[in-house]
Amino acid sequence: MAHYAKVSNGTVTEVIVAEKDFFDAFVDSSPGQWIQTSYNTYGGVHVLGGVPLRKNFAGIGYSYDQIKDVFIPPKLFPSWNLNEETCLWEAPTPQPQQGKFTWDETSASWIPLND
């Protein structure tokens, strides 16, 4: 079985699990196209050591860049930048390694979470 994302106007609207031959008989009259995505691909790496597919597993609301042939998750904060290598959004400053933090867009910094 494989995963397929329905892309309409550059946005993923649906993700299904199906065999490739399912699409031979499947009739979909709604706008968009079905594009294969890999459940095991994140940040351009296949987590099980296989061949990564389209940088990231597609989710509803993700965008599809047809030129790069990649899925990109929604941008979490306006200040974050797209890492062109992983096609993931990154904060302008790295998250501290120790402790739990949340991003504060107003101060553009990581704020410690109190347990």
**Residue-range domain boundaries for the chain:** 1-74, 75-115
pLDDT tens for each residue of 24-78: 888 898 999 999 999 999 999 999 999 999 999 999 999 999 999 999 999 999 9
Measure the CA–CA gap between 65 and 86, rounded to whole angstroms: 13
Q: DSSP characters for 68-89?
A: TTEEEPPPSSTT-EEETTTTEE
Tell me the average pLDDT across 70-93. 98
pTM for the predicted model, two decimal places: 0.91
2 by Cβ neighbours in 10 Å (0-12 / 13-18 / 19+) ranks as middle
Measure the CA–CA gap between 26 and 38, rounded to whole angstroms: 20
Measure the CA–CA gap between 31 and 88, rounded to whole angstroms: 27
Report the 10 Å Cβ neighbour count for 54. 21
Across the strands, what pairs with 109?
Answer: 104
pLDDT > 90 fraction of the chain, expressed in percent and rounded: 89
